[in-house]
Amino acid sequence: MAPGMKRGQYEVQDFIGQGAMGLVYRAYHVQLERTGAVKVLQAIAPDPDATARFRHEAQAIAQMRHPNVLNVYDFGEDPGTPYMIVEYMPGGSMSDRMQAGERFVRSTALHLLDGIAAALDYAHSLDIIHRDVKPANVLLDGIGNPVLADFGLAKLLQSVSVKTVSGVTTGTPAYMSPEQVMGSSVGPAADTYALTTMAYELLAGAIPFEGEGMLELLYAHVHREPPLASSRNPDLSAAVDAVLARGLAKDPIARWETGSAMV
């Protein structure tokens, strides 16, 4: 979309980035004097069934009100391609900052995990499962608070016609729970597993199963135990190892009951 084009009441300003789902643009609502982000979901085929499911998911997500959950301002389709207008986060994503080489000190890591866990626990109380918790879906506001984005999009990909787009999955392999790998039913424990994987990464400096090919990585989630976090960061205690091990349990029932309990 070129600058000046409109989606709903928002006027496109510039291109922000591209993900597996589509393109993201910064936009501005003149009457409200509010900046937002337009997420054009190109991965979803423009057929009536897909559009209806997208509308249903967008309505559910738009009802969420939590300081650590990204607000949805509007949604629609134009021309035939679904789009969603969401809150604009000036701090970028955790993934961007980690790929740039930033290492979060322990207090910052715990602050980020605490906010993400609160967002997940709130969503779970509404029977909403994220299904794709990862650093790329954690945005940062102007003062460094975490805001979780893209609720429901993984579920949407599972239930609608999806265009052939490189990188489109119903979860991200490095953070995917064993039950997601196996195609079993997914509940809050899958999000807890992904949150714990992020905790391991922030504290140990690496994801639990590092340097694996795609198939090996998926196999590892189901059949292998990750190295102790303290083996990668000797500053971590056996107590931290135990907390992470419980959150990464193969059996969903054995994991922490909530993300906040794990943090």
Position 71: which residue type? N
**DSSP secondary structure code for residue 208 in this structure:** S
Cβ within 8 Å of residue 148, ≥6 positions away: 68, 69, 70, 116, 119, 120, 130, 133, 137, 138, 139
Report which of 251, 135, 243, 140 is spatially closest to residue 196, judged by C-alpha positions.
243
Cβ within 8 Å of residue 112, ≥6 positions away: 94, 104, 138, 146, 202
**Annotated active-site residue in 74, 127, 132, 241:** 132
- Told to judge if 132 belongs to the known catalytic residues of this protein, a careful annotator would answer yes
Q: What is the dihedral of CA 72, 74, 77, 82, to 10 degrees?
A: 0
Tokens of 38: 């337009």
Catalytic residues: 132
